[in-house]
Chain A
Amino acid sequence: MIPYLHETSSYDIVKTRNRTYVCVGENMVIQENMSMEEKLSILSDAAKFDVACTSSGVDRKGNQDGIGNAASCGICHTYSQDGRCISLLKILFTNECIFDCKYCINRRSNDVKRATFTPKEVCDLTIEFYRRNFIEGLFLSSGIVNSPDYTMDLIYQTLVLLRIQHGFNGYIHVKAIPGADPELVNRVGWLADRMSVNLELPTSEGLKELAPNKNRKNILKPMKQIQLGIQEYKGKRIEMTGGSGIVGIDGKPIVSTQNTALQLANLQMGIDPSYDNPVSLVNRKNKFKKKFRFVPAGQSTQMIIGATPETDYQLLSVTSSLYKKFDLKRVFYSAYVPINEDCLLPSMDTKSPLLREHRLYQADWLLRFYGFEADEILNEENPYFNVLLDPKCNWALKHLEQFPVEVNKADYAMLLRVPGIGVNSARRIVRARKMAVLDFADLKKMGVVLKRAHYFITCNGKMMYPVKIEEDYIIRNMLEVKEKLPEPLQEVNTYKQLSMFDTNYQWRVGS
């Protein structure tokens, strides 16, 4: 491993009661002396639009040298008022961003309160929250402060403190900063569980227009690097020595990037003295060895939908090719919420496309767990989701020639394609029919949603009710039940050709 060093060499810090001034060369950073809680409120507010607060994908036992473990199913620790799961301490390292992305609340041209953590603050906050079982770990992202390298390095230092000094075994998800030195990205990869690079917008044209400081190539480069790293280092572990004050990789000490002037400055800035001696170190050994894997929980990404004019089909195609080309674990969608006034953006009274986001997640599930291809769900002729029907139901109605299927005989893959039968109930059916011939009452016991499924299945050659297997008939009957329709749609009971239609729909992001 090559040591990574910044070139800055001199700095000055002047502290007054309310402010700290740090001068490095010609740059000066002014920081209000803020309490920990104030910083936390600013930097969690700034991170709220990042999706994917999931802690899944890696199983790790705890040990007595450190604190924590990880469960591959992921664990939700609470739910915020928008109904989203909170699993990780999701914060930005800083919102003092030098970029000016139109859609972003932290863009340079916005007049918002700015704050920056120190690596130590993030580390202590994570450990203290973790001990109280508030969180499953850390999700660290950041605005670009000074340069991509500088920002990535701060993230790296934080991870070194957590993983190596404190022996933290909980979950860590970090963003790779596009444009940062590949060596830094590599080092972070050995300490994190999951990494992600934000795609930001679905197409490179959209990106060029709305994020003038970013480009597609820069985003895809670290994504590729992480993918190749995961492949190359598969099954490989490196050993690091940890404990208070001792930090090393593969037997050699880490050449700490903290020696450089600007970082020292940053470490000294705004440290709350009460955090100097965390209780969490009291019970630990002074020195221990730990083995690490490279990004064991895989890579994910996210994109904003509704800020640019792509069709649903385009979005789904992008998703599908990301899964195929980059081996991503998850693609997340973030319904655009208008927060900035800009002629290039949708107007401020645009409603957030929550239903569209919901349909995208449903389709994403079909790609990952139900054996569907993107082209089966949408295509050039039908590029938008049906507002009234979920994508699976929509597909089934367009392929009625394949139905009804006999529940006691159909293979697992076909059962999965029946509306009202999910992964769990399909598995149960396959198990249960080995022991007995199943009828509709049995299916109900096993969790099949019969009011949807009964149009598409037979038990023992019989349908549940005498129904016509005909598109219009089924739609009319299904919508009469008005199940799970979003509120504004409950008035609608005829089938219409649908356009983009956004509404406050219940939604959730699965972990």
Chain B
Amino acid sequence: MNEIQVYVCEDSIEGIFTAIYDAWASKRGHVNNKIQLEHNTEIALFCSYLSVKPDLEKAEKVTRSIKQKIGLEAYRYIYYMALSNRDDKADAIYRFMILGFHYGSQVMDHLSNDAVNLMAKTYKRVSMERHRYTGFVRFEELSNHILVSKIRPENNILPILAPHFVDRFSSENFMIIDESRQMAVVHPARKQWFILSMELMDQNVLEEVSEREKEMKGAWATFVEHISIKERENLKLQQNMCPLRYREFMPEFKKE
């Protein structure tokens, strides 16, 4: 039996793609390769570990061949998988790509295959969380008129969530902070947006909330309360549709 070579990579699309590039180039046979994220520290027997540094050039090559040989829809699945919170995502992408290079764009139809099915399910889960946050994000206005929102998503959805709000609020200065990853989308009015680590953020920007905030939140909570039909109360349904984990930063669910 051959020893399994484990490529250990950074948790980013560049990191994962670089590891896939190296695994492919090794020509050891795909069954003898495995790709793992850095923070998965469990060590298995009969494996040797190889740490892979992200290499933009290699990652770019992988991106290009996915788009050309498997198609844009497949690239989107892979991208969403890379943003997901699954520990096995790097290897899942690797396995999917092996099939993809074999079948071409048709691989997307192969839903009865476990590797493809996992990609499809994850795509659905991540895009669902993104979709929910397009509605559940709440901005607060600071006294300098900057709109600030905090979220705590399961998956790393900032890069796919931001374009929606950039299009919607192109003439506003706004920020969406991912509390669990300590990253933020920053959008200066009418300018290019970017994602920034909170450590690098100029904390002076985060002023006090504006005076009208309390009034607006109060008005909103009043509205949500009064629009409900008492005779049809159904808290279980409410919770199915808006699970508790989304409510942390939603003012209508704050008890006074």
Contacts and interface: CB of A to CB of B under 8 A. Distances in A.
Instruction: Say what secondary structure dominates the interface of chain B.
Output: helix
B63 interface: no
A196 B92 CA distance: 48
Interface string A42-66: 0011011100000000000111111
A508 interface: yes
B102 to A, nearest CB: 12
A218 interface: no
A69 interface: yes
Given A89-B223, A133-B138, A435 B106 contact: yes
Nearest to B120: A428
Nearest to A45: B226
A83 B234 contact: yes
Interface residues of A, number: 67
Given A81-B235, A283-B189, A434-B109, A131 B140 contact: no
Contacts of B224: 78, 80, 86
B137 interface: yes
A134 B138 contact: yes
Given A40-B222, A64-B171, A436 B232 contact: no
Contact of A508 (B134, B135, B219, B241): B241
Contacts, number: 181
A279 B145 contact: yes
B39 interface: no
A90 B227 contact: yes
Interface size class of B (residues with CB under 8 A): 35 or more
B146 to A, nearest CB: 11
B112 A79 contact: no
B216 interface: yes
B91 interface: no
A75 B216 contact: no
A76 B241 contact: yes
B45 to A, nearest CB: 31
Nearest to B190: A64
B167 A61 contact: yes
B139 A131 contact: yes
Given A37-B218, A132-B216, 6 more contacts: A37-B222, A128-B216, A131-B139, A432-B110, A435-B106, A436-B110
8 contacts: A64-B190, A67-B168, A71-B134, A82-B228, A128-B216, A133-B138, A274-B212, A434-B106
Interface of B: 103, 106, 108-114, 117, 131, 134-141, 145, 147, 149, 164-165, 167-172, 189-190, 212, 215-216, 218-220, 222-238, 240-242, 250, 252
